[in-house]
């Protein structure tokens, strides 16, 4: 910064000198653009977002366009192969596979999205409390988190589902409970390290309230890692929820859901393997996209991965 003339020339090539506090010149604006672009230069992030948007678009639009009812039984044409009427054929009860796949996807994605949202919201709150207030509350919460982590994920999920009479509610709650510890630990870690920094201490000296400190300083610092965790968590929730469905302890048929569809199709593998393959591929595409987004976000937001990307 001391040698302004020099850096003006070299800035075109060196992205690493980007600095938020620079006065707004043409060059600095170019920099902001380049920096934004470099975030999206993570090809994985872009592909992941496109893939996820594509899947969501499919599950929302396909049933509207196909004109079939996902549970509309037509016993006259079971296992009809792909045709103009049924682009992906029909299942054992003559239901349109394409429509069922999309409607099943709505259920799977909506439930895993809800669980991820609930887990993130409650986990972040608990993590903030634990890290900021500390003391006995922190100790108690951390022991509680250890207990939850001490039970294998799927076992815990099945135990929670078994005590809740309503299956849909049980599935969402179980996926929420198993996901919470990751958010608590992550937020708590950031809170503990940020609360001790000089700028937070000075903000408190200036009279800032707890809510402001958490919102203004702690949360923004945790936002990057949290977004990464939410992205991975969405894929994991989908795997868990469809896994529960597959095992017969999740969403109950005839409601379409990718896991139960995969489970139902096993006995018809010789009639139409597509019925088995499609739900699995759909789940795989979503988890692939969430992993790509998570990895991409981590690389884009991690200050160490690029030479110096300011937040």
Residue for token pair 């981590």: 298
Q: Which two tokens stand for residue 271?
A: 């009639």
Instruction: Give the range of 14-22, 77-85, 128-136, 152-160 binding other proteins by CB under 8 A.
Output: 152-160
Contact between 179 and 115 under an 8 Å Cβ cutoff? The reply is yes
Task: Work out whether 263 is an interface residue with other proteins (CB under 8 A).
Answer: yes
Task: Work out whether 60 is an interface residue with other proteins (CB under 8 A).
Answer: no
Question: SS3 for 209?
Answer: coil
Among 269, 271, 302, 307, binds other proteins (CB under 8 A): 269
Q: Radius of gyration over alpha carbons of the chain, in Å?
A: 24
Task: Work out whether 287 is an interface residue with other proteins (CB under 8 A).
Answer: yes
Q: Where are the alpha helices (DSSP H) in the chain?
A: 4-10, 26-40, 43-66, 97-133, 135-150, 153-163, 167-195, 198-205, 210-213, 219-246, 258-265, 274-301
Among 49, 82, 133, 247, binds other proteins (CB under 8 A): 247
Among 32, 140, 155, 169, binds other proteins (CB under 8 A): 155
Query: Minimum distance between the CB of residue 310 and other proteins, rounded to whole angstroms?
Result: 26
Instruction: Give the range of 73-81, 129-137, 210-218, 266-274 binding other proteins by CB under 8 A.
Output: 266-274
Query: Minimum distance between the CB of residue 62 and other proteins, rounded to whole angstroms?
Result: 21
Q: Which is nearer to other proteins, 276 or 299 (CB)?
A: 276
Q: Which is nearer to other proteins, 5 or 165 (CB)?
A: 165
Q: Which two tokens stand for residue 135?
A: 């003391």
Q: Which two tokens stand for residue 240?
A: 């868990």
Among 229, 237, 242, 260, binds other proteins (CB under 8 A): 242
Instruction: Give the range of 5-13, 86-94, 102-110, 162-170 binding other proteins by CB under 8 A.
Output: 162-170
The three-point CA angle 110-182-293 to 5° equals 55
Q: How far apart are CA 267 and CA 245, in angstroms?
A: 16
Query: Minimum distance between the CB of residue 42 and other proteins, rounded to whole angstroms?
Result: 17
Q: How far apart are CA 301 and CA 42, in angstroms?
A: 11
Query: Minimum distance between the CB of residue 270 and other proteins, rounded to whole angstroms?
Result: 8
Site track for other proteins across 163-202, x = CB under 8 A? x-x-------------------------------------
Instruction: Give the range of 36-44, 77-85, 158-166, 215-223 binding other proteins by CB under 8 A.
Output: 158-166
Q: Which two tokens stand for residue 254?
A: 């005839």
Instruction: Give the range of 4-12, 117-125, 161-169, 191-199 binding other proteins by CB under 8 A.
Output: 161-169
Distances (CA, A) of 199 to 189, 195, 206, 216: 17, 9, 10, 11
Distances (CA, A) of 5 to 10, 25, 34, 128: 9, 13, 20, 45
Contact between 109 and 56 under an 8 Å Cβ cutoff? The reply is yes
Task: Work out whether 275 is an interface residue with other proteins (CB under 8 A).
Answer: no
Give 12's DSSP letter: T
Q: How far apart are the first and last CA of the chain?
A: 19
Q: Which is nearer to other proteins, 104 or 243 (CB)?
A: 243
Interface residues with other proteins (CB under 8 A) are 143, 146-147, 149-156, 158-163, 165, 239, 242-243, 246-249, 259, 262-263, 266, 269-270, 273, 276-277, 279-280, 283-284, 287-288, 291
């Amino acid at each position: 910064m001391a040698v302004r003339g020099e850096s003006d020339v070299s800035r075109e090539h060196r992205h690493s000198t980007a600095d938020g506090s620079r006065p707004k010149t043409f060059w600095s604006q170019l920099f902001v653009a380049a920096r934004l672009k470099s975030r999206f230069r993570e090809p994985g992030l872009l592909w992941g977002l496109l893939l996820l948007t594509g899947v969501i678009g499919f599950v929302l639009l396909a049933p509207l366009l196909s004109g079939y009812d996902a549970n509309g039984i037509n016993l006259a044409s079971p296992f009809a192969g792909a045709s103009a009427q049924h682009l992906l054929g029909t299942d054992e009860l003559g239901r349109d596979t394409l429509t069922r796949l999309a409607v099943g996807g709505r259920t799977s994605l909506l439930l895993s999205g809800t669980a991820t949202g609930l887990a993130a919201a409650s986990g972040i709150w608990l993590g903030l409390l634990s890290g900021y207030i500390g003391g006995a509350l922190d100790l108690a919460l951390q022991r509680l988190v250890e207990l939850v982590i001490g039970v294998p994920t799927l076992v815990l999920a099945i135990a929670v589902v078994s005590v809740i009479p309503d299956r849909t509610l049980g599935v969402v709650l179980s996926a929420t409970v198993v996901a919470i510890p990751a958010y608590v630990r992550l937020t708590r870690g950031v809170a503990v390290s940020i609360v001790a920094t000089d700028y937070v201490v000075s903000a408190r000296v200036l009279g800032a309230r707890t809510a402001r400190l958490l919102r203004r300083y702690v949360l923004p610092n945790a936002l990057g890692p949290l977004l990464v965790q939410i992205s991975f968590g969405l894929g994991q929730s989908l795997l868990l929820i469809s896994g529960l469905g597959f095992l017969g302890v999740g969403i109950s048929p005839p409601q379409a859901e990718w896991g139960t569809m995969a489970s139902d199709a096993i006995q018809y593998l010789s009639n139409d393997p597509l019925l088995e393959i499609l739900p699995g591929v759909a789940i795989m595409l979503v988890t692939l996209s969430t992993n790509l987004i998570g990895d991409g976000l981590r690389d884009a937001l991690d200050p160490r991965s690029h030479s110096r990307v300011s937040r």
